[in-house]
Amino acid sequence: MQRQRISIAGAEIEVFDSGGPAPGLPILYLHAGCGFRPERRYVGLLAARHRLIAPSHPGFGASSLPDWLDHVDDIAYFYLELVERLGLDRVGLIGSSLGAWIAAEIATKTPAWLARLVLVAPVGVKLGPPDRLDIPDIFALPQQRLQRLLYHDPEAMREEPAQMSDDELRVLIRNRETLALLVWEPYMHNPKLKHRLHRVRIPTLFLRGASDGLVSADYVAGYARLFPKARVATIAKAGHLPQLEQPEIFAAQVLSFLEA
């Protein structure tokens, strides 16, 4: 993955791009709240068959955060412009968690370049009663409890901050700070989004890890029902980030859908 910086709407956006000719549909990958790391196994599996473009959202990674940006829907417009800048005619869009919310916002704007949509453990809509959270409050949970909700095997996925470099710690803290800015109020949803999703008429795949403690099976099923052409698939032995715990199965399901 080659790294570049692209200026959009006064912000410098970090973009990873596998580049080069590839026979498959180009993929725009929108990361979860933990950010994007190009060395992850699933990245190589997707990039082996398709050109993979993975920006760091404004305020994440090395991307700057403009003062006026305070909502997930604002980021959708960055990526509409990014695809135009890259000159892409047809794109498969994959979003994970926060990135899936951004992807859903993009899809409601019905860009002509959007061919297929994959939403991995998505957040972004309110489906339950107003006095109860659909998604557990990740900012109030102890770290060990949060890890158990995030992963099927939290011990295997645990990373020690003491073993991270200063730059890695800086990115980690910055990602969390920006995530709080974007999802705090209203918590983990845009009240208007679910009323727009009927506009998304392209084939859509919802993916969920069977052990996901943040996004429930009922929530994903209810989310999928808001789309005219959606189906749901589950990945065993995986939590909220199945691309990390089961990269081969994740890549196989995504590629099968994009190449159908």
Distances (CA, A) of 25 to 112, 116, 180: 14, 9, 33
Mean pLDDT calculated for residue range 23-33: 93
Q: Which two tokens stand for residue 24?
A: 């498959």
DSSP state of 57: P
What's the pLDDT at 21? 65
**Residue pLDDT, tens place only, 155-175:** 999 888 888 899 999 999 999
What's the pLDDT at 260? 87
Residue 11: other Cβ atoms inside 10 A: 18
What's the pLDDT at 251? 98
For residues 50 and 22, the answer to whether their CB atoms sit within 8 Å is yes
Phi, psi of 190 (to 5 degrees): -110, 115
Contacts of 80 (CB under 8 A, 6+ apart): 106, 109, 111
Helix (H, G, I), strand (E, B) or coil at 63: coil
Pairing between strand 27-30 and 91-96?
parallel
Domain ranges within the chain, ordered by starting residue: 2-258
CATH superfamily ID and name for 2-258: Alpha/Beta hydrolase fold, catalytic domain (3.40.50.1820)
d(Cα 206, Cα 107) in Å, to the nearest integer? 14
Mean pLDDT calculated for residue range 42-51: 96
**Residue pLDDT, tens place only, 169-195:** 999 999 999 999 999 999 999 999 999
d(Cα 93, Cα 50) in Å, to the nearest integer? 12
Mean pLDDT calculated for residue range 76-96: 96
Q: ∠ CA(236), CA(237), CA(238), 5° rounding?
A: 90
pTM of the model: 0.97
